Amino acid sequence: MSTDWRTSVEVDQRVADLLARMTLEEKVDLVTGDQDFDYAFYNAPIERVGIPALTMADGPAGARVNNTSVNGGRNTALPAPIALAATWEPALARRYGDVLGAEAFATGHNVQLAPAVDIARAPRGGRTFESFGEDPLLQARMVVPEIHGIQAHPVQATIKHFIANNQEHRRFTVDVRVDERTLHEIYLPPFEAAIRDGGVAAAMASFNRVNGTYVSEDRGLLTDVLRGELEFRGWVMSDYEATWSTAAAANAGLEQEQPAARFWGPRLLAAVTDGEVDSETLDEMVRRILRPMIGLGLVDRPVMVGPVPAEDHARTAREIAEQGIVLLKNAEGLLPLGPHVRSIAVIGPEADNVSAAGAGSGFLRPLHEVSPLDGIRRRAGADVRVTHAPGADPLSAADLLPGPPAIPSA
């Protein structure tokens, strides 16, 4: 079989054979996500024709394990992708992706919902840590080897979030007004690299609208740009409940609604039966999902839970973290701390816990964890007094609520 699933004649022949044996209901089932709380996203298997489940793992900074009976619900917490970008080292991005792919597969997953290439543009963007910063060129350089690392395993990488998904405020409904030059010079280059050079299998359509139209039903973006200009041969899933229509989304170029059948499922079946969605459109949606499933080995190598090389992956994570440290100022050579230091003050509400991942899709239960305070105490030794003060209240989910901030504990 060709090493490139996008151009393999054998892959296309196997896709055609599967498609010919599928019923209309099975085709609709393949493009309609299912709800399974052991996975962030999920699509049920079609066992009659040998199509395995699509078992998907969040997120960009580690393969999350929702099912706590698998590996204790834990995997390696990798440094945030923004820290990986700070290394400026594509070879480390390849190793980063290899850990993601290996741990996803070993914990029962065959789709990794990463990497993210959302350009950092809003200073208060809550998900900025999940991507590679504000520079499109750096994003493009780092995303390709990470995809190669993930897809070296029978695991599909998912490039997200397509597109112009850059702020937390009203991120489910915001209408991003963007001109063609900005779209092509700022937002699209990382996606183009991921597709052309990375061979990424899947993409995720974002919640937001672009120039008045929701991305998941924007034919200009999903078909004309993604498939036409960038020659993407994989498939597009919606973000979690980011599908807003039935026929409009299917005809625009969306391949799968996630997570459950809000607009697809029985509604899509009826739309095909009634002629609102052409049967060939549905067939092409199925082809796009099956092509990387077969080409990347998901059909021939079903997922199976196995051991995670935790110590090796912990060393990789630490090396990336060390290379990603950016020291802005080192007045009078204070760092690294010398033998003359006898007292250290550690100030910050998160210093005495492991804030290794963000909330939402970036959340992960780490296999190894050392808080900054513990790390400093271990490094300083018994002869140095280390004192901690929170300094401020920690952030919590309540901080995302509208209205004035809560009265501080002080």
The confidence band for 397, taking pLDDT boundaries of 50, 70 and 90, is low
Q: Is the pLDDT of residue 1 over 60?
A: no
Tell me which amino acid residue 284 is. E
Q: Which CA distances in Å does 129 have to 80, 118, 302? A: 6, 10, 32
The confidence band for 91, taking pLDDT boundaries of 50, 70 and 90, is very high
For residues 17 and 20, what is the distance between their CA atoms, to the nearest angstrom? 5
The confidence band for 2, taking pLDDT boundaries of 50, 70 and 90, is very low
SS3 51: strand
Q: Tell me the domains of the chain and their CATH numbers.
A: 9-295 (3.20.20.300), 328-393 (no CATH)
The confidence band for 361, taking pLDDT boundaries of 50, 70 and 90, is confident
Structure tokens at 168: 């937390």
pLDDT digits (tens, 9 = 90+) for 152-165: 999 999 999 999 99
**What average pLDDT score do residues 230-239 get?**
97
Q: Is the pLDDT of residue 410 over 80?
A: no
**What average pLDDT score do residues 359-378 get?**
89
Q: Is the pLDDT of residue 129 over 70?
A: yes
Among residues 81, 89, 64, 164, the alpha carbon closest in space to that of 115 is found at 81
What radius of gyration, in Å, describes the C-alpha atoms of the chain?
Answer: 23
Of 224, 239, 274, 399, the catalytic one is 239
Q: Which residues pair with 160 in a beta bridge?
A: 116
Going across the sheet that includes 213-214, the strands are 175-176, 209-210, 213-214
Is residue 224 flagged as an active site residue? no
**What average pLDDT score do residues 288-302 get?**
97
SS (H, E, C) 138-199: HHHHHHHHHHHHHHCCCCEEEEEEECCCCCCCCCCCCEECCCHHHHHHHHHHHHHHHHHCCC
The mean of the pLDDT values for the chain is 93
The confidence band for 331, taking pLDDT boundaries of 50, 70 and 90, is confident
The confidence band for 400, taking pLDDT boundaries of 50, 70 and 90, is low
